Structure 1
Amino acid sequence: MELVDRYMQAVEYYLPKGKKGDISRELRANIMDEIEAKQNDKAKDLDITEVSALLKRQGHPQKVAQAYSPLSPLVASEDMPLYKSAMIKALIFLFCYAILTAGNYLFEEQSVNAFAYLFVALGSFLDNIGLVLIVVTTSFYFAGKNGYLNKWRYPKWSPESLPKANAQIISKSDSVSEIATSVFALMMFSTPIWMDPISYEKLILGFAPDMQAWRIILSVLVSYSLISAVYRINKRYWTRTSLAVYVAEYLVYIATMLYLWTQPALVVVHNPQASDLNRIIEGLFTYGWLFGVFIFTLITVSLIRKWFKL
């Protein structure tokens, strides 16, 4: 029958080559048996409308093929937690790579433009996110299909090793943003090292001559923040010790900003003719330190609340 032949051809289209013959013969036999049974009941051949209705009851050709030969999913449901964890780590690694790319861009362009830094970092991240998605998903597909994920699916554990019921989750986004901010800050503080003298002299803003020692002090503080942020990326929960150290880090920044608020201007305008701009910059930094203290105090209070809940 033509309709049966057309239906079987549609089903075979969705079947793997190695299974087409056996499945096709079995399915065709089942359909012909059903048609023959219907014809015996009616004592006459089925017309086109009746055959079409019988084939519709079989289901869509793709659905029938899937029932006979289920396709392997790209990522099995039991592997989704591991897949999600791997994808998050891959994206974090990609973002860190984008931050380094942006830092290298500033070095090549001899610039400290914050907008260019963010634009290059975001552009590098978006350019490569598709590749990361394909690589991770493809790796999981072949590893899961060949049974390699079984030993990684569920890591070793014991009830005693599980986090406490009141455990506080470490925010990955906070750690990533701290990494980006710290890298840019280090680029800013180390301009005399990586920037050529001509480009350095063209900078509008710079450290005041009598405040040059703060380059080293602030670089040390920011370097510690960068290292601790990288360390926290691989951690899922806060401990009382790690959170206490994080609170101490914020207290050091608050104390530093309060001290700088009482000192002469940290940043000045290089151009001696721009005295009006210099006064504006001094005013911005005067109130900027206090604003920073206010923001950091709010964050510290929230962290202390988390600490008491542990």
Structure 2
Amino acid sequence: MQIVNNYLNSLESYLSEDIRKEVRDELEASILEQVEDKQESLGRELNTEDIEAILLGFGHPMKVAAAYSSNQELVSSSYFPVFKKSLELTLAIVMIATLLLNIPLIFSDANFIKIGIVLLADFIENGVWTFAWVTLLFWVLQTNNISIEGLYKWSPKELSAVNPKLKISRLETLFEITVYLIFLGWWNGAFGWTMTHVFENLDKVVNLSDEWQLVHWSVNIIVGLSIIVDSIKYIAAGWNKATLSANMALNIASLAVIAQIFGFETYVTVIENPDGTIPLEVTLEHARTLINGVLGVLAAIIAWDIFSNYQKIVS
């Protein structure tokens, strides 16, 4: 029966060499048994259509071969929870870094549609690469049987002692620390571009105004202390009254700095060539609207965090 032989040959092509003969012999015996049973029930020799129906019942050769093969998952169930959390946090970090690195474009004279398209394209490209690299990392860990049980380490005693409202995720805390470090790098000019952006048409240069220097060290101190608080929180795997109080104090200081920034007369300064082909007012108003919006959202988040910390302290 050539059709059966073709099926078994196809099946073999999906199997590793060490199990090909064993699996082929097993499947061949099973198929021939069904063929014989069918012939007895019908009282005649089976035609091609009858044999085809039997083979369809077994399923596609690739799917059947997968049932006999090990390691059929890129990320197995034992690795998946950590993989999922790592991917979420890594994607968030990459997205924030992408946004920071595109700040020159956001402050440019490009229209909102162009800015949105560029940002979306960067987010998608960086997101795909991030997904690929994180998946590859966990595939390598799984393939080489590298244990990640340390990440699942826990103690029933700790679970019973920790107030659920004070418990934190170490991965999320590590994400916060990473975001703070990225921000500090940008704030202190550690990346390839500075606060200055030269526009594509080369007719003007935009800088943050000198007023930002008034909060330069305040921001550095607040963010630096926030990293220390988060590091303590990471080690302890939870909040305590000391870290909650420190975080509330830093949040209040952050609101004070934001209020000071709202009082700036100008957020950016523009140096324009004599031809003045693009109105200064457009860029200045664009920058003020954007920065005011970001500061407003940031202030709301900080205010909510203060309230949340207070609830945890009194609970």
TM range (shorter): 0.5 to 0.7
Q: Provide the TM-score with structure 2 as the length reference.
A: 0.64
d(CA) in 1 for partners of 2:179, 2:304:
18
Measured after TM superposition, the shift of residue 142 of structure 1 is: 3.0
Aligned to 1:109: none
Unaligned runs of 5+ in 1: 107-111
Deviations 1:149-179 (A, max 9, x none): 2544522434325742223768778877766
**Does 2:304 correspond to 1:305?**
no
Whether 2:220 is the aligned partner of 1:223: answer: yes
Question: What residue in structure 2 maps to residue 252 of structure 1?
Answer: 253
Code of the aligned partner of 1:224: I
Letter in 1 for 2:146: Y
Counterpart secondary structure, 2:78: helix
How far apart are the structure 1 equivalents of 2:40 and 2:252?
89
Mapping of residues 77-92 of structure 1, within 5 Å: 77-91=77-91
Is residue 69 from structure 1 mapped to residue 72 from structure 2 by the alignment? no
1: distance between equivalents of 2:30 and 2:294? 76
Letter paired with 2:163? K
Structure 1 counterpart of 2:164? 165
1:54-203 alignment runs, 5 A limit:
54-91=54-91, 94=94, 98=98, 102=101, 114-115=106-107, 126-149=124-147, 151-152=149-150, 154-160=152-158, 163-167=162-166, 184-187=186-189
Worse-superposed segment, 62-71 or 1-10: 62-71
Tell me the residue number matched to 2:243.
242
Give me the CA root mean square deviation: 4.9
Residue 136 of structure 1 aligns with an amino acid whose one-letter code is V
Evaluate the alpha carbon distance shift between residue 69 and residue 294 of structure 1 in structure 2; reply closer, same or farther with a 3 A threshold. closer
TM-aligned CA distance change 1:113 to 1:28, over 3 Å: closer
| SS of match in other structure, 1:22 | helix
C-alpha displacement of 1:145:
2.9
Give the whole-Å Cα distance in 1 for the aligned partners of 2:48 and 2:13: 23
Alignment correspondent of 1:206: 209
The structure number with the bigger radius of gyration is 1
**Residue 27 of structure 1: CA displacement?**
0.9
Q: Which is richer in helix?
A: 1
- TM-score, normalised to structure 1's length? 0.65
Checking the alignment, whether the CA contact within 8 Å between 1:183 and 1:226 is kept in structure 2 is no
Instruction: Check whether the contact 1:247–1:304 (CA below 8 A) recurs between aligned residues.
Output: yes
Give the C-alpha shift of residue 243 in structure 1: 3.8
Asked if residue 20 in structure 1 is aligned to residue 20 in structure 2, the reply is yes
Matched letter for residue 28 of structure 1: E
* Equivalence for 1:11: 11
* Identity in percent: 20
Task: Please state whether the residue corresponding to 2:209 is helix, strand or coil.
Answer: strand
- Match status 1:34 vs 2:31: no
